[in-house]
Amino acid sequence: MLRRALRLGLGPGLLGRGLGAHGEGSTLGKAEGSGGYRGSGVFPISSDVTFRTRGPGPRWEDSGSLGAGDWHGKVSEIKKKIQSVLPGGAWSPLCDTSHLPPEHSDVVIVGGGVLGLSVAYWLKRLEKRQGAIRVLVVERDHTYSQASTVLSVGGIRQQFSLPENIQLSLFSVEFLRNINEYLAVVDDPPLDLQFNPSGYLFLASEEGATIMENNVKVQRQEGAKVCLMSPEQLRKKFPWMNTEGVALASYGLENEGWFDPWCLLQGLRRKVQSMGVLFCHGEVTRFVSSSNHMETAIGEKVTLKRIHEVHVKVDHSQEYQPVECAIVVNAAGAWSGRIAELAGIGKGPSGTLQGTKLPVEPRKRYVYLWHCPQGPGLEAPLVTDPSGAYFRREGLGNNYLGGCSPAEEEEPDPGNLEVDHDFFQEKVWPHLAQRVPAFETLKVRRAWAGYYDYNTFDQNGVVGPHPLVVNMYFATGFSGHGLQQAPAVGRAVAEMMLEGHFQTINLSPFLFSRFYLGEKAQEHCII
């Protein structure tokens, strides 16, 4: 019954009712006093409902005409005034809590990378009454030193095999093209994404040619502009390329290229702050939840959980602040598997839904930057070789960047972000030099490593609610294509929260339940 309900796309909300769960599928927005929330399942936030979490405490929406930001500003002004008239110089008679997160928030987003910020943006953008939803983003590293977003290579393409991935990237490219309509902030300068339009060029061997043809069919059906090229056509268009071993190529004619990820991240951050989203510099270390044990008609035991409190450990201190909330978004990127574990996800007998883990883990990927005076010019696309090696131009001075994902059995230790220079020498360069003979003489100038938010099950994103921890939503696991899909994924997750279903793009194949059901959303075009 559980499997059947999940296959039908019914959240445990409906399941729960079928099980005779108490409650009527209330919305999370309706506070339940101190007794916790009744009902269960995919509870949409009704965005025109006034939000309140359990217990007493400040309610931002009650603060007259002041927004949350204004309110905190006023409090800190008053504190400063009191301080200035009291004796005692630098000694602070009031406990300064400005660094602490608020005690209540309707939504707590774990992770302030591009995916977390995009969810925050769409929640605020789609809320029906301004200020109706209080959103807190918790980010443990404000320098983003290890965040995938800023260590990525900034590419966007529509050459995927799954219709959902193509649609996500088509939506995102429209967002990026009109970034200053979406992310404009009054009195702030416009964003310059440094968008570099350039097609991706996928090369296929004889073995991969049929799959490529099928992929291109799907891409075109979804509205992407992609053409197929023969080796002869390739030689004419890109005379610097050696086409040995290439049977077919697919080339993006529109809406592909690369951009500055840092600019997108900062643009989103600036915008969501202007929309009233709060940020907190701290680490989520614990969830406090309640459980509800149930039995299905055929005797299967199911435990539904609801998170009530998120503990945020404040930076450089042993202090933590409990934040009461209605919904938690797991947007912790490569570390989201750990956040799921903290919520008890995967802690159950194997083979059960309860024992099914979020299969997302950090996988180290190297990016090398090299110079080659004789290398291809401005017309060079982003080339992916049948071997898996890829490269693209970086700027205008005959600089290039690229890399290659290692074989599964050769995955490097993700314990640090050190670069393995031998990997370039042995696994990347030979393929590059074979494909572009000019690269025989390239000189590596620098390199870095970053983490893919790698979904070991099918290398695709995980979105929407967890079927058992009913108020944890995912926006993670995009395994190397999360940056470009973030604008669309944030919208999908916000729609699911606000309306209870996907509206713009149906991402049902990316729900968590597929891990339990064993239904892969296998993407063939992973770089």
**Residues of the shown chain interacting with ligand FAD in the complex, contacts defined by CB under 6 A:** 110-116, 138-141, 144, 147-149, 151-155, 283-284, 331-335, 339, 365, 367, 450-453, 476, 478, 480-484
Provide, rounded to whole angstroms, the least separation between the CB of residue 347 and ligand FAD. Answer: 18
Provide, rounded to whole angstroms, the least separation between the CB of residue 363 and ligand FAD. Answer: 8
Provide, rounded to whole angstroms, the least separation between the CB of residue 449 and ligand FAD. Answer: 7
24 φ/ψ angles, rounded to the nearest 5 degrees: -115, 30
CA 489 to chain centre: 7
Amino acid (one-letter) located at 161: S
Distance linking the first and last C-alpha atoms of the chain = 38
Amino acid (one-letter) located at 527: I
Q: Compute the residue count for the chain.
A: 527
Provide, rounded to whole angstroms, the least separation between the CB of residue 395 and ligand FAD. Answer: 16
Rounded to whole angstroms, the Cα distance separating 508 from 470 reads: 16
137 close to 278: Cβ distance less than 8 angstroms: yes
Closest CA to 214 of 164, 163, 157, 161: 161
Q: Which residue lies nearer to ligand FAD by CB, 6 or 458? A: 458
248 close to 229: Cβ distance less than 8 angstroms: yes
Provide, rounded to whole angstroms, the least separation between the CB of residue 431 and ligand FAD. Answer: 17
Q: DSSP per residue over 186-229, as a string?
A: TTSPPP----EE--EEEEE-TTTHHHHHHHHHHHHHTT--EEEE
Provide, rounded to whole angstroms, the least separation between the CB of residue 313 and ligand FAD. Answer: 8
Q: Which residue lies nearer to ligand FAD by CB, 84 or 318? A: 318
Q: Which residue lies nearer to ligand FAD by CB, 138 or 323? A: 138
Q: Which residue lies nearer to ligand FAD by CB, 136 or 248? A: 136
Burial of 85 (0-12, 13-18, 19+ CB in 10 A): exposed
Q: DSSP per residue over 294-320, as a string?
A: EE-TT--EEEEEEEEEEEEEETTSS-E
Q: Which residue lies nearer to ligand FAD by CB, 317 or 441? A: 317
* 140: number of Cβ within 10 Å: 19
DSSP 3-state assignment of 464? strand
Q: Which residue lies nearer to ligand FAD by CB, 140 or 435? A: 140
Provide, rounded to whole angstroms, the least separation between the CB of residue 331 and ligand FAD. Answer: 5
Provide, rounded to whole angstroms, the least separation between the CB of residue 403 and ligand FAD. Answer: 7
Provide, rounded to whole angstroms, the least separation between the CB of residue 261 and ligand FAD. Answer: 7
Q: Which residue lies nearer to ligand FAD by CB, 148 or 167? A: 148
Provide, rounded to whole angstroms, the least separation between the CB of residue 214 and ligand FAD. Answer: 23
Q: Where are the alpha helices (DSSP H) in 86-151?
A: 114-126, 148-151
Q: Which residue lies nearer to ligand FAD by CB, 157 or 308? A: 157
Provide, rounded to whole angstroms, the least separation between the CB of residue 294 and ligand FAD. Answer: 30
Burial of 371 (0-12, 13-18, 19+ CB in 10 A): middle
Distances (CA, A) of 25 to 13, 28, 38, 245, 470: 6, 9, 7, 58, 12
Q: Which residue lies nearer to ligand FAD by CB, 137 or 246? A: 137
Q: Which residue lies nearer to ligand FAD by CB, 49 or 447? A: 447
CA-based R_g, the chain, Å: 25
Q: Which residue lies nearer to ligand FAD by CB, 10 or 527? A: 527
Burial of 130 (0-12, 13-18, 19+ CB in 10 A): exposed
Q: DSSP per residue over 346-399, as a string?
A: T-S-TTSSTT----EEEEEEEEEEEE-TTS--TT--EEE-TTS-EEEE-SSSSE
Q: Which residue lies nearer to ligand FAD by CB, 102 or 112? A: 112
263 close to 194: Cβ distance less than 8 angstroms: yes
The two three-digit tokens of residue 151, written as one number: 């260590």
Rounded to whole angstroms, the Cα distance separating 290 from 313 reads: 21
CA 435 to chain centre: 33
Provide, rounded to whole angstroms, the least separation between the CB of residue 113 and ligand FAD. Answer: 2
462 φ/ψ angles, rounded to the nearest 5 degrees: -120, 120
